[in-house]
Amino acid sequence: MGILTKVILDIVGVGIDILEFFIIVRLLLMWRQIKWLVPFDTAGKDLVNSFVAAVNKCWSRWRNNELTIKSQLIVGLITLVVLRNVLPVIAVLL
């Protein structure tokens, strides 16, 4: 794996980690109101909302039904965890 590939994977990995953080914050705030997490949720609101909309769009194409907001967040989080673990394997194969 070349240095450019490693740099790109690191940048994508950091982006995935940031998105995972904001999704976990949103899930925690749906479960319980934690005052000091509200600013983090506000900061990542647009990012999470656009990601959840994409997850819901893909899910509706695949299963022909809508998910609840909490389910969209959980499916998106699982997808990101799998993606973060699969990307390095794909990069090595290329």
pTM of the model: 0.89
Average pLDDT for the chain: 91
> Is the confidence at residue 75, as pLDDT, over 90?
yes
Instruction: Give every CB contact of residue 70 below 8 A, 6+ residues apart in sequence.
Output: 27, 30
- pLDDT tens-place string over residues 49-66: 999 999 999 998 888 888
Within 13 Å and on the Cβ side, how many CA atoms surround 24?
9
> Is the confidence at residue 94, as pLDDT, over 80?
no
> Which residue ranges make up each domain of the chain?
3-93
